[in-house]
Copies of this chain bind each other. A is one copy, B any other.
Amino acid sequence: MIYLDNAATSYPKPNIVYETMMKAMKEYGANPGRSGHKLALEAGRGIFETRELLSKLFNIDNPMNIVFTHNATDALNLGIKGLLKPGDHVITTSMEHNSVLRPLKALEKAGVETTIIQCSPTGEIDVADIEKSIKDDTRLIVTTHASNLTGTIYPIREIGEIAKKYGIVYMVDAAQSAGVYDIDVQEMNIDMLAFPGHKGLLGPQGTGGLYIREGLDLHQLKEGGTGSKSNLLTQPDFLPDKFESGTPNTPGIIGLGAGIKYILERGIEDIRNHEKELTKYFIEELKKIQEVKLYGPCNVEKQAAVVSINIGDEDSSEVSYILDNVFNIAVRPGLHCAPLAHKTIGAYEQGTIRFSMGVFNTFNDIEKAVEAVRKISEEI
């Protein structure tokens, strides 16, 4: 199987991730932050180490400002709903995932107003449009760092500057970029950074997190045991406990730490360059096939390792089915949980066939994918 569905989850993970998780489960599978015995302390240390590694990767001063969540969606909900109040205004883009758009849509009923900036047919944004949309009650700007549909990369540094200039909170959805593209929350003026653990960060599913800038006051969405201030019937008000109720995904978080260590040791630039080369080659080869419709910037300086295509007017699910069953190539078809993005690029009815490359893909994988697309194109 040639796996080209890394935008859904990276696969495989580095071996050290599997090994570290097994070790955590078999040798110190206790509940961290509750008891004080050796196994619980070791589990707690493992989780703290992952906080430190994330802090290093994203240039976060205080590891306690990272909250572990179930996934990036959980983190986005916490950031969006924990911050916004009735009467607040939010600015976002037409290229967002449903994990941003659906919470915002739900908040409309509570009196939160959203402006959705229309992106270009390649998914690109004019930053001036964001600035023009700012109103007195604009509380939040939330954008993705890279589109899960077209790979289009957003100028988060520029957007962060605008947000800072107007004193607006800036939240970045790093679902498709964390672990591959440079993210510096301080330099880039990012107030909240939501990330999945199981994509570019190479950790297991069941992990994700939210960085919250020091001093930014969010309301928690759930309460429960935190192993701290157990005498209180109210939630502790310090991070990360305020937002981390109940038993964490200890082996998952420790496995995520192993994934980040792998990235730091290999070098994020090396990973990014590898993915860029694969993507560049893939786009160039696909351009030679007449029947292929390519979406997005088609330029690896503006695009992460995500390539959406269609073959003529063929149904994207049908093509993906053939890729899987005849060519043993795993991709994702249809609407990629981003309906407005599909409308933006003109692929709402047909959906797209999405190829997404990861750190362990090879040129040989890409050659086979090109060959498969060529053969299918000839058949139709």
Which residues does A use to contact B, with CB under 8 Å? Answer: 1, 3, 5, 8-9, 11-13, 18, 21-22, 25-26, 29-31, 34-40, 69-74, 76-77, 81, 97-99, 101-103, 105-106, 196, 198, 204-208, 221-227, 230-235, 245-252, 317, 320-321, 323-324, 329-340, 348
Contact = CB atoms under 8 A, between A and B. Distances in A.
A38 B41 CA distance: 40
A314 to B, nearest CB: 15
A71 B246 contact: yes
Contacts of A245: 73-74, 77, 99, 102
B37 A246 contact: no
Top 3 nearest A-B pairs (CB, nearest first) are A206-B249, A73-B246, A225-B337
Contacts of A231: 335, 339, 348
Given A11-B30, A39-B330, A105 B233 contact: yes
A333 to B, nearest CB: 7
Q: What is the interface of chain A mostly: helix, strand, loop, or mixed?
A: loop
Given A74-B222, A105-B234, A339-B233, A205 B5 contact: no
B102 A233 contact: yes
A320 B36 CA distance: 8
A102 to B, nearest CB: 3
A204 B251 contact: yes
Nearest to A221: B221
Contact of A22 (B18, B206, B333): B18
Contacts of A198: 247
Contact of A320 (B21, B37, B98, B221): B37
A70 B335 contact: no
Given A5-B40, A320-B37, A330 B224 contact: no
B223 A105 contact: yes
A337 to B, nearest CB: 3
Which residue, of A70, A71, A248, A321, has the highest number of chain B Cβ atoms within 10 A? A70
A90 to B, nearest CB: 14
Contacts of A22: 18, 22
A34 B335 contact: no
